[in-house]
């Protein structure tokens, strides 16, 4: 294992920001894995730390293929993580909306530029992604349809579901999108949690990434088999919103199969405890995202269902 500083940023008030990458193997840039780019992505950082330990052991066992280099970047934005903020502490901007970056731009643009200059050129890229809202995901992998997409590769992770996403205008400044524009086959892996650690889900994510590396000939290892992945487009999912705000009492959880009309959650009045609204499934399917906070606002997406 070799520890490298990929980008440094001096600060007048805090220690220097050093974005660190852990490199394994030698030769061709085979795979880069990026964890937390936001200050609340604790699970994403944790999965990467688990990957560092797995790869250290594989390297010690001489199980990394010849002429293959793997890099893991556990955390980009630990400045924000240290003070409990999701976005950059000074101006509340999102590093993952600044790619490919600009060396003479604002702080987060410079961080994105410095990081992306080291991430370009890898054959495969995996980002441990999180959702913009509070909630839990059924572990799955997602790929943007940029014209460079090889969706069949997602089956190599062995997750239950793999989703193909049609990019929207705001996606064009993300790491995943720009990786693909620069001809890296890029994937977003979603684990169960974001700002908490879920061991079972982290293990599932690590196992999936190891299965992918084995399938691409990057490592040699004996691994548990995964699921026979169901490949879906994002328009084969349905979002469910809460029609009222209040205390959110969840009935169904990620991975549950539900029928149309079935009760998913109740919303209670926060002062008198009366029932304000019921959230019911509009379709038959499997829940792959659910809201996790105890309070919810009106018109908030609280469930996503694979139909």
Same domain, 221 and 244: no
Q: In the predicted model, what is the mean pLDDT of residues 32-44?
A: 96
Q: How many domains does the chain contain in total?
A: 2
Structural element, H or E, at residue 234:
none
- Could you tell me the residue range of the domain that residue 260 belongs to? 236-306
Same domain, 69 and 88: yes
Distant-in-sequence contacts of 197-205, Cβ < 8 A, 24+ apart: 197/42, 197/43, 197/46, 198/43, 198/136, 201/43, 201/139, 202/43, 202/46, 202/47, 202/50, 203/50, 204/139, 204/159, 205/47, 205/128, 205/139
φ and ψ of 269, to 5 deg:
-65, 130
Same domain, 257 and 202: no
- 11 pLDDT band (50/70/90 cuts)? confident
**Cα 219 to Cα 181: distance, rounded to the nearest angstrom:** 26
Same domain, 94 and 218: yes
Give the predicted TM-score (pTM) of the model. Answer: 0.93
> The dihedral of CA 248, 249, 253, 256: what is its sign?
negative
Q: Which of 228, 249, 282 is the last residue of a domain?
A: 228
pLDDT digits (tens, 9 = 90+) for 73-119: 999 999 999 998 999 988 999 999 999 999 999 999 999 999 999 99
Same domain, 48 and 193: yes
8-12, 92-96, 118-122, 216-220: segment of lowest average pLDDT: 8-12
The CATH number of the domain holding residue 222 is: 3.40.630.10
As a whole number, the mean pLDDT across the chain is 95
Same domain, 55 and 93: yes
Same domain, 10 and 124: yes
Q: Which of 175, 199, 228 is the last residue of a domain?
A: 228
Same domain, 78 and 190: yes
DSSP designation for 252: S
């Amino acid at each position: 294992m070799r520890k490298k500083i990929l980008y440094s940023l001096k600060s007048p008030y805090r220690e220097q920001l050093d974005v660190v990458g852990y490199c394994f193997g030698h030769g061709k840039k085979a795979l880069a894995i990026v964890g937390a780019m936001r200050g609340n992505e604790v699970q994403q950082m944790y999965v990467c730390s688990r990957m560092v330990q797995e790869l250290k052991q594989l390297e010690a066992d001489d199980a990394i293929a010849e002429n293959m280099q793997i890099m893991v970047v556990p955390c980009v934005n630990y400045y924000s993580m240290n003070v409990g903020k999701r976005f950059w502490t000074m101006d509340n901007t999102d590093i993952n909306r600044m790619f490919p970056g600009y060396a003479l731009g604002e702080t987060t643009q410079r961080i994105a530029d410095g990081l992306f200059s080291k991430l370009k050129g890898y054959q495969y890229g995996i980002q441990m992604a999180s959702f913009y809202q509070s909630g839990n995901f059924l572990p799955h992998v997602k790929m943007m349809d940029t014209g460079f997409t090889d969706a069949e590769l997602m089956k190599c992770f062995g997750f239950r579901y793999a989703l193909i996403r049609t990019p929207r205008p705001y996606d064009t400044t993300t790491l995943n999108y720009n990786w693909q524009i620069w001809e890296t086959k890029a994937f977003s892996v979603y684990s169960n949690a974001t700002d908490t650690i879920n061991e079972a889900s982290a293990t599932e994510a690590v196992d999936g990434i190891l299965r992918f590396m084995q399938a691409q000939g990057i490592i040699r290892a004996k691994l548990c088999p995964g699921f026979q992945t169901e490949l879906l487009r994002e328009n084969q999912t349905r979002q469910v919103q809460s029609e009222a705000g209040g205390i959110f009492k969840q009935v169904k959880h990620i991975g549950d199969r539900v029928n149309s009309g079935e009760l998913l959650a109740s919303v209670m009045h926060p002062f008198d405890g009366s029932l304000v609204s019921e959230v019911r499934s509009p379709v038959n399917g499997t829940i792959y995202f659910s809201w996790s906070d105890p309070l919810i606002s009106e018109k908030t997406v609280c469930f996503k269902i694979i139909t």
